[in-house]
Amino acid sequence: MQRLAFKMKIKPGTAAEYKKRHDEIWPELVTLLKGSGVSDYSIFLDEETDTLFAVQKVEGEGGSQDLGDNPVVRKWWAYMEDIMETNEDTSPVSIPLREVFYLK
């Protein structure tokens, strides 16, 4: 199992809406993530910079950011586009982070 981390950005003033949408995450998206080997997935917000920090455990090679060909993920990206920094294909701008320390 590997742990992956990445950062994203939300648009100013959208923190409450971002949390609301994730509190109501679609069951089919949860099923897809878990079925793809993603678990122990957390997203944290730096409210001063509107930067999101995400970390997840993954069985296999790819994490949640590698599911962009799935229609459920595409629909979620479109749903989140108005409150996040996104690429032209509506995927969130996601920057992988390199682990430099881990305490077990």
Nearest partner of 12 among 57, 43, 39, 50, judged by Cα: 50
From CA 21, how far away is CA 79, in angstroms rounded?
Answer: 9
- Element of type H or E holding 43: strand 38-46
- Write out pLDDT tens, residues 73-101: 999 999 999 999 999 999 999 999 999 99
Secondary structure tally for the chain: helices H, strands E: 3, 4
pLDDT for residue 60: 77
pTM above 0.85, yes or no: yes
Provide the annotated active-site residues: 22
Q: Which domains does the chain have, with CATH numbers?
A: 2-97 (3.30.70.100)
